[in-house]
A and B are shown apart, each in its own frame.
Chain A
């Protein structure tokens, strides 16, 4: 600092108040009412907004998973399968796609999703045959577990 000595230090005034205020107001510009203009009100609202956004990060994960599940349910019903049957049979066939990827496939790759639904349906039928059949039919193809270790 150029100002050496206490007397010169005490005579300086706050010069960057504008920017300190703008630092807070820039996060409040889209709020409703006076809290998008007036610093005293904005400080409180901006702090609450940040706290809410921090806490919402956990809820975002829950919300998105529920959205993916809704979308997968809609797409699998188009192919005649319900969501629990689809997901459980896909897992039993060792297709370990997560719900995010399956939902994106359902939107952008419809033919791939159709083949996934067909796979799940076939695995389901093989499960029924294994449970209800006499044991004379050969073991199902998609029911075979592949060990990668």
Chain B
């Protein structure tokens, strides 16, 4: 999709209002969404490429689940396509890996609370993000995405197109479908031990310490 994107855009013709069910146009009918109607034979491949459902991969390692969910929800709805329409079911599949290694900022692991109620009296349960993550490593990402999708009947269908995996392991049949890897929303900073000694030595001195305060000198 990325390679052919500029040229593979819609050859879809918006069909006229004489649609299948009605024999006359309804008063005040909205223009129909661009659907996969009959384009010319020579443009058939371009049309299929435009309306096909793609599979994207997203690595959630060291990423905040909110940003992951924002990117994913846009892709699931199909809002990243210029041919978007709420009724035309143009969303894509998203596979998220390493959900066990998501990174909340601040103190959210201890302070964020996920609430639920079993329906029975006295069944109000509240768990912290840490407890929920220990119980089910995909639950936090799943709930975040679920709450970011539009609150309509399409939401459950879109959630079925979301595939979450706690680690790197993906089943064969899903791996064969993947088309493109999405860039991570947060740039992961390098830890001090990930820098090579040459890079540390090459880093400019910010201030010159007094000789008696220099920890490297044994004096």
Residues of chain A contacted by B12 (CB below 8 angstroms) = 107
What CA separation (Å) do A64 and B31 show in the bound complex? Answer: 9
Name the residue in A73, A107, A108, A110 with the highest tally of chain B Cβ atoms < 10 Å from its Cβ: A107
Q: Which residues of B contact A103 (CB under 8 A)?
A: 82
Does B48 belong to the interface (CB within 8 Å)? no
Q: How many residues of A contact B (CB 8 A)?
A: 27
Q: CA separation between A111 and B9, bound complex, in Å? A: 10
Asked whether A30 is an interface residue with its Cβ less than 8 Å from the other chain, the reply is: yes
Q: Is the CB of B80 within 8 A of A74?
A: yes
Say yes or no: B79 contacts A70, CB within 8 Å. yes
Query: Could you say which of B5, B7, B84 has the most chain A C-beta atoms within 10 Å of its C-beta?
Result: B84
Q: Which listed residue, B27, B81, B85, touches A67 by the CB 8 Å rule?
A: B85
Chain B window 84-104, contacts with chain A (Cβ cutoff 8 Å), 1 for yes, 0 for no: 110000000000000000000
Cβ of A111 and Cβ of B28 under 8 Å apart? no
Q: How many A-B residue pairs have CB under 8 A?
A: 52
- Asked, given contacts A107-B9, A110-B6, whether A70 binds B84 with beta carbons under 8 Å apart, the answer is yes
Cα distance A31–B81 in the bound complex, in angstroms: 34
Q: In the bound complex, do residue B28 and residue A108 qualify as a contact, i.e. CB atoms below 8 Å apart?
A: no
A101 at the interface (CB under 8 A from B): no
At the interface, is chain B mostly helix, strand, loop or mixed? loop
CB distance from A35 to the nearest CB of B (A): 16
The answer to whether B28 touches A53, judged by C-beta atoms less than 8 angstroms apart, is yes
Closest to B30 in A: A60
Taking the complex as formed, is A77 at the interface, i.e. its CB lies under 8 A from any CB of chain B? yes
Q: Can you report 23 residue pairs joining A to B where beta carbons are below 8 Å apart?
A: A30-B21, A50-B27, A52-B28, A53-B26, A60-B28, A63-B30, A64-B31, A67-B84, A70-B79, A70-B84, A74-B80, A74-B84, A77-B80, A78-B5, A106-B9, A106-B82, A107-B9, A107-B34, A107-B82, A108-B9, A110-B6, A110-B7, A114-B6
Nearest CB on B from A112, distance (A): 11
Closest partner residue, chain B, to A54 (CB atom): B28
Q: Which residues 3-46 of B have a CB within 8 angstroms of A?
A: 5-7, 9-10, 12, 21-22, 26-28, 30-31, 34
